[in-house]
Amino acid sequence: MLVAHLKELYHYRDLLTSLAWRDIQVRYRQTFLGFAWAIAQPLAYMLIFTVVFAGFGQVSSDGSPYPIFSYTGLVPWTFFATALGLSANSIAANMSLVKKIYFPREVFPLGAIMGCLVDFLVASLLVVGLMAIYRVPPKPQLLWLPWLIGLELGFLISLSLLVSAMNVFYRDIKYIVPLCVQLGMFVTPVIYPVSKVPEHLRAWYMLNPMAVVVDGVRRVVLYGQTPAMGPLLVSTIFVSLFGVAAYIFFKRVEVRFADLI
Amino acid sequence: MHPIELQSVWKRYHLGSKHDSLRDMIPALLKRWAGREAHPETPKNEFWALKDVSFHVKKGETLGIIGPNGAGKSTLLKILSRIAKQTRGAIRVQGRLAALIELGGGFHPDLSGRENIYLQGTMLGLSRREIVSRFDSIVAFSELESFLDTPVKRYSSGMVVKLGFAIAAHIHPDILLLDEVLAVGDIGFQQKCFRRIDALRSAGTTMIFISHNLEAVHTLCDRVLLLRHGQVAEEGEPGAVIQRFREEMLGHVMRDEAAASTGNSTALAQLTDVALKDADGMPLETLTTGEPLLIEVSYQANQPIANPMFRVAIERFDGLLCHATASRRHGVVPETLRGEGTLTLTYPAVPLLPNLYHVTVELFEDGNPIPVASLRRHRIFQIISDGHDHGTVQLEHSWLLQHP
């Protein structure tokens, strides 16, 4: 059954790119900076964090310059936060379409994520620039990046399928998601390194797939280390199972979207 | 094996009991746990939009679905197009199905016509490559070449619909669902739409046409299904089913007549009654095409009315003005109208074809465009026919076939 759904989704693959393109166009069409806004947000946070945490707070960054340390964490985190926020409301915001035209409804959250993925790739370009500025040489461990980004995407897709469907029935979800995402940043090593987490809590801490992703990205980009393998495998297995469950849930409630008046 | 088969399809909607926010849901859940409300969805809140609907459509056939408002037509269309899912029963659809329900429903106002062709096209299930290969044809059909790069928010509503139909017409479906979408655009474009649909039909496309426009249903469909209260009430040859539906509507209309008709009278005058009669002066409600019709208007002038003019109009039920005439030029009505009286308008032979019609009468004074008294849609009558012709009026005709 899941295979049939995936087949149908594949048939509508061009709609995904259409929707993502629509989102990007609408987001940047009447702005002066255009795509530069994709960089602006993580960059602004980087500057603020550098002044507040590295300057006043003396937060350690495991030996890396704090700007590149925080930016490498902020890029995957901003992607996660923005995409989840947008996809959560993606179906509810398109209810008029849901009632008029049939197509698999998961294209709404997936399209929203895809639109943000473009922003993420643009923002990642600055990482290359920062690597040049701070003389961080690229290492072969960068080959782990596709796995890490894939893990983040998988987690993001699973969560967004869940919350976007729930938000159709309970519009509170739209407000709960940004709140949870904000709190989530504190249990993810965006501002501080994992080494600051007390040893005995670290196993629990690394159950958060985003902690695995952000820590992994820093390890491969900044330090030329492999990601922490145990947590990476656990997260990958967890996200795979979660993804299947979320998709099954989504397809089950999807048929009820159009019945809501 | 038919392209569309429905077996005992039921659809239930819940009314008003949906929790839209957690604030509504949490107390409801608590109540449920406390056992105070054994059945949270009481049958009162349930509404069966479709009840045991079964039918099939043969390959290449055009099926019309008619019925009063609320009979379940839209629900059926939604279920056929997979927008909604039936509560019970089975549906089988074979082949690529396209629904011309909401033209341009997926357009984004900020995007250009060109971008929206891709967006809407992919929503309707086309691939990007298919759109690229049909793009020029879509644009040519829409007649919007010069507005392709204009944001759709600057389009007129007619332009939006044109573009929407142009895209939908290029899906090349095996099955086409049609709603009231054809009443769009200017006449030239409407013709184009009908030609397109005819072409698809000739090419063997199976169609379902859901409409209030009974004439169009009669013209387009091979078979008609009448829905009533979510059930299939009649099914069969278009002429017979449509006739039955009209009779049914006439019954409703007669009952609501007093409420539906509007009129006004001033201190100057009143129109006290409008009566429809046959050649023998007997009141009638149903008339056969070609028979005579007398319209008797009773008036009462409270004050003398200078240069009076009576206007009588026969309108078809869908609003088409069939005939209107004014009394002034005929020298029947005196220069000043006083007291009570009856004016009779005689049609020796009414050539109108089967449908429902109503009569509006107005009395004007001295060229004043606002009537001093009127009775709008006061009398309703049905025209039936012995023949098989349909359309607006019966035209005298003969056939001749010549071959060497």
Domain ranges of chain B: 4-234, 261-384
Residue B276 CA to residue B358 CA, distance in Å, equals: 10
Tell the CATH superfamily of the B4-234 domain.
Answer: P-loop containing nucleotide triphosphate hydrolases (3.40.50.300)
Sorted by sequence, the CB contacts under 8 Å of residue A8 that are 6+ apart come out as: A104
The residue that leads in pLDDT, B190 or A175, is A175
User: Is the minimum CB–CB distance between A170 and chain B shorter than 8 Å?
Assistant: yes
Q: What is the CA radius of gyration of chain B?
A: 27
**Bridge partners of residue B315, in order along the sequence:** B321, B358
Which pLDDT score is estimated for B155? 92
Instruction: Give 3-state DSSP helix, strand, coil % of chain B, rounded to 5.
Output: 30, 35, 35
Rounded percentage of chain B residues whose pLDDT exceeds 90: 34
* Least confident piece of the model among A49-58, B248-257, B310-319: B248-257
If you count residue pairs, one on A and one on B, with CB atoms under 8 Å apart, how many are there?
A: 84
d(CA B199, nearest CA chain A) in Å: 24
Contact B325, B312 (CB under 8 A): yes
For residue B292, the number of C-alpha atoms closer than 13 Å in the C-beta half-sphere is 11
Q: Is the pLDDT of residue B38 over 50?
A: no
**Which chain B residue shows the shortest CA-CA distance from A15?**
B122
Per CATH, the number for B261-384 is: 2.70.50.60
Set of chain A residues whose Cβ sits within 8 Å of the Cβ of B108:
22, 26
CA A68 to chain centre: 19
Q: Is the pLDDT of residue B60 over 60?
A: yes
Rounded Cα gap, residues B369 and B366, in angstroms: 9
**Window from A24-38, B36-50, B226-240 with minimum mean pLDDT:** B36-50
Rounded to 5 degrees, φ, ψ at A99 are: -90, -5
CB contact under 8 A, A96 and B21: no
**For residue A13, which residues of chain B lie inside 8 Å, CB to CB?**
127
**Cβ-defined contact of B127 to A14 (cutoff 8 Å):** yes
Helices B128-142 and B113-123 cross at an angle (nearest 10°) of: 120
Contact of B327 with chain A, judged by CB distance below 8 Å, is answered with no
Partners of residue B382 on adjacent β-strands: B286, B356
B21, B84, B124 ranked by CB distance to A172: nearest: B21
Question: Which residues of chain B make contact with A171, given a CB cutoff of 8 A?
Answer: 20-21
Using CB atoms, pick whichever of A18, A19, A100 lies closest to residue B101.
Answer: A100
Angstrom distances, CA of residue B238 to CA of B181, B182, B286, B318, B388: 20, 19, 20, 18, 11
Look at residue A249 and tell me whether its pLDDT is greater than 90: yes
Asked if the domains at B4-234 and B261-384 fall in one CATH topology, the answer is no
| Beta-bridge partners for B7 | B90
Task: Dump the DSSP string for A136-147.
Answer: ----GGGGGHHH
Phi and psi, residue A203, nearest 5°: -60, -40
Q: Is the pLDDT score of B269 beyond 60? A: yes
Is A100 an interface residue toward B (CB < 8 Å)?
Answer: yes
Q: Does A99 touch chain B (CB under 8 A)?
A: yes
Q: Which amino acid is at B353?
A: L
Q: State the average pLDDT over residues A94-111.
A: 91
Query: Residue B315 belongs to what H/E stretch?
Result: strand B308-316
* pLDDT tens figures, A182-210: 999 999 999 899 998 999 999 999 999 99
Contact A88, A177 (CB under 8 A): yes
Question: Chain-wide mean pLDDT for chain B?
Answer: 84
CA atoms within 13 A on the CB side of B223: 16
Q: How far is CA B51 from CA B13, B230, B236, in A?
A: 12, 5, 19
Tokens of A170: 């309970």
Q: Does B25 sit within 8 Å of A101, measured CB to CB? A: no
pLDDT at residue B384, rounded to an integer: 85
Q: How confident is the model over A75-88, as pLDDT tens digits?
A: 999 999 999 999 99
For residue A60, the model assigns a pLDDT of 77
Q: Which residues contact A239 (CB under 8 A, 6 or more apart)?
A: A151, A154, A155, A158, A209
Q: Which of A7, A19, A22 to mutate to test the interface with B (most CBs of B within 10 A)?
A: A22
Question: Contact, A172 vs B21, CB < 8 A?
Answer: yes
* Look-up of token digits 């504190």: A186
Q: Does A135 touch chain B (CB under 8 A)?
A: no
Q: What pLDDT was estimated at residue B32? A: 60
The amino acid that residue A108 corresponds to is F
Q: Tell me how far the alpha carbon of residue B29 is from its chain's centroid.
A: 44
Q: Per-residue pLDDT tens for B137-195?
A: 999 999 999 999 999 999 988 888 889 888 988 888 899 888 766 666 677 887 888 88
